Each structure stands twice: as C-alpha cells, then as structure tokens.
C-alpha cells in the first residue's frame, strides 16, 4: 500500500512535448524549475491525487531482449545512481516521449520529471521518479481593473484537479525493472503511454494475483453458479470468497474451495473453469500466493451484492456478515401465485 503524504519534491524539470506527426517540436528547459511553497503544495496534490484514488496496479519496466535496453529504465537508473543528473536525464526522458508522439491523436503538452523522496510503499521508505504529462487545456476567466471598470480576460490553462497522464517509478526491485504505478485519463491511444513510452508489463505480485483471482471467481459465479443454482447463491458465493480473502494473509486453493464452495459438486466445475479461463487472468498455474488487503478492499467495492427482482424490488445482502444472508433469507415457490419468493426473518426494523 502506498503512502504519498510524507513525499517531498527534491527537484522538478518542466519541458513541452509536441506531436511529431503534426510537425510540432519538443521544448527542453535549460534549468530545473524553481518552486515556492504554494506551488509545491499545489503540484503535489495535482501529481498524487490520481494515485490515491486509483487501484494499485503495479507494472515493471521490460524489454524483449533485456530490461537494460529499455530507455526509461536506463535514464531513471542514472537518476537513482546520481541525483545531480536528474535534469540532464529529464531532457532524455522528454525527448524519448517526443519520439513516441507520432500518432495523429496524441496531444501536445507539458511534461514534468520529478525526483521524489520519503514515499512509503508497504511501510518501506523509498524514493521515486515521477513522470507526469498535462494535455487538455481549459478556458478560465480572469478579472482586471481598467480605469473605472472591471474587465474580463479569457485565458487557457490546465485543470489541476485532473492529471492527464502520470507514472511513479519506485527505486525498488531494480533487477526486475523497478516497481511502477501509472495513470492515463486520456486513453486516445492505448499503446502510447504504457507500451511505446514506458515499455511496461503487469507486475505479477500479490496485488496482481489477489485482484485477478477474485475477478476470475466473479466470472465463475456468473457463468457457473448462477445457471446451476440461482442469483442468491451467486451473490453468496462471492460473499464467501471475498470474506475468505479478507480474513487470510495467504491463499491456498484447496482450503479456499473447501471453505467457500458449499455445493461440492461445483468443485470439479471450478477446476475445469480454471483450466479453460485461467490463462485470461494469468492464474492457470497459481494455487498459492500472499493476499494483498488493498486489492481485497477494492474488489469488495466493485462486486455487486444486490438481487434485482422483476417486481421492481431489490434485496441487498451484507458482505461483512454473510451468515445473516444464509440464515435469515429463504427462497421458495408459491404454487397459488406461480411465483418465486424470498422470505426474510428479522426481529425489528433498523433506523436508517
């Protein structure tokens, strides 16, 4: 889990990268940017906010031959080895980004290369190189006094509440291509930022396996549990799955199946489904891994725990207390009405 609050900006370089396809140029600043306290505070919020709000999907820098041939890896490594070379390498990073900016949809913009210290990643203190790009320009109004009148001036600038593109490259796991976080809010060219510029692959760590295994379980519930049983059992299966992950530090598949799969006949179905669909989630050969609590929390927010009925009634089941949904909700068939029903037991209605 990342904590960016204690992070400090040690240096920042600002350049402008145009679109080569449109014969735009790259502008490289001669010196690093000098900031005051107010600007530093605004930029930290601008840079870091997307990473606090986004799932922590980690990547690592790669190259089909060797990571040493990855341009970003080479320049960032020089910065980590000698921070006095940060601005010099920031120019190389901006030029490298410019060389990838040849698709007609790619937008020109300002590029910030930032050396950061004091970041906490899984309670480990580390430094990082941040690369951020602002692309979209917005109109805003300024007001000026002219003689005895107040005048309106229209200007253009960036919205500091929304970063367009950015990545944090942490000074960890150098031999494996470092640990990298990335955001891209303007996905007009999916390969431009992650593939062509950064050259990254997903990092197969505990966060990766936790997130992907739960996604796999969610699709198993939809494709197998729901047709074999009903919507209630689909929701309850995912309820049990998420809670199994939440209360354990490590995952072991046989323990998971014995605890979560109430219908033993579905265990062979699960194993067959994993052989068939597992490669899509990169878990086909995975049965043991450490569990990432943050990934479990993120998954819990996304998994639907609502049964929608065709009578315009919703039944919401509690993911925190799954035993309530199993003990106090019953499904049945009414012969007279020729309709299914849910019977809900309770002592008293709770005040909202």
- For the segment 217-266, what is each residue's pLDDT rounded down to a tens digit? 999 999 999 898 888 888 889 888 998 999 999 999 999 999 999 888 89
How many helices (H) and strands (E) the chain has is answered by 11, 17
Q: Which residues pair with 152 in a beta bridge?
A: 143
d(CA 266, CA 270): 6
Is residue 320 pLDDT above 80, yes or no? no
**What Å distances lie between residue 165 and 91, 153, 187, 349, CA to CA?**
18, 29, 9, 48
Percent of the chain with pLDDT over 90: 59
d(CA 319, CA 326): 11
Domain residues of the chain, as ranges? 2-203, 207-344
pLDDT digits (tens, 9 = 90+) for 283-294: 999 999 999 888
Is residue 297 pLDDT above 60, yes or no? yes
Task: Mention every residue, 6+ apart, whose C-beta is less than 8 A from residue 262.
Answer: 233, 236, 237, 240
Closest Cα partner for 209 from 149, 281, 268?
A: 281
d(CA 97, CA 87): 15
pTM: 0.77
Residues 6 and 119 sit within 8 Å (Cβ to Cβ): yes
d(CA 240, CA 261): 8
């Amino acid at each position: 889990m990342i904590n960016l609050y204690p992070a400090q900006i040690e240096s920042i370089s600002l350049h402008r990268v145009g679109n080569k396809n449109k014969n735009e140029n790259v502008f490289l600043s001669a010196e690093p940017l000098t900031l005051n306290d107010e600007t530093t505070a605004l930029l930290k919020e601008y840079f870091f906010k997307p990473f606090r709000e986004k799932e922590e999907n980690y990547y690592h820098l790669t190259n089909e031959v060797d990571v040493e041939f990855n341009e970003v890896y080479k320049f960032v490594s020089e910065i980590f080895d000698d921070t006095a070379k940060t601005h010099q390498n920031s120019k190389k990073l901006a030029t490298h980004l410019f060389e990838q900016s040849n698709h007609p949809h790619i937008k020109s913009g300002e590029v910030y290369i930032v050396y950061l210290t004091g970041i906490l990643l899984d309670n480990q203190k580390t430094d990082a190189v941040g690369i951020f790009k602002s692309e979209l320009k917005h109109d805003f109004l300024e007001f000026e006094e002219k003689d005895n009148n107040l005048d309106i001036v229209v200007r253009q600038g960036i919205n500091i509440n929304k970063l367009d593109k950015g990545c944090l490259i942490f000074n960890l796991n150098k031999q494996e291509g470092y640990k990298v976080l990335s955001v891209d809010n303007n996905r007009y060219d999916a390969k431009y930022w992650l593939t062509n510029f950064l050259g990254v692959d997903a990092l197969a760590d505990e966060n990766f396996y936790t997130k992907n295994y739960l996604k796999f379980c969610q699709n198993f519930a939809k494709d197998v549990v729901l047709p074999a049983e009903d919507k209630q059992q689909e929701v309850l299966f995912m309820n049990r799955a998420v809670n199994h992950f939440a209360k354990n530090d490590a995952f072991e598949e046989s323990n998971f199946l014995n605890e979560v799969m109430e219908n033993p006949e579905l265990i062979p179905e699960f194993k067959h489904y994993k052989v068939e669909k597992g490669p899509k989630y990169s878990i086909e050969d995975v049965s043991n891994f450490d569990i990432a609590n943050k990934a479990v929390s993120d998954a819990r927010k996304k998994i639907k725990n609502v049964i929608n009925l065709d009578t315009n009634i919703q039944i919401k089941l509690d993911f925190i207390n799954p035993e309530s949904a199993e003990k106090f909700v019953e499904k049945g068939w009414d012969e007279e009405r020729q309709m299914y029903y849910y019977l809900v037991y309770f002592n008293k209605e709770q005040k909202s």
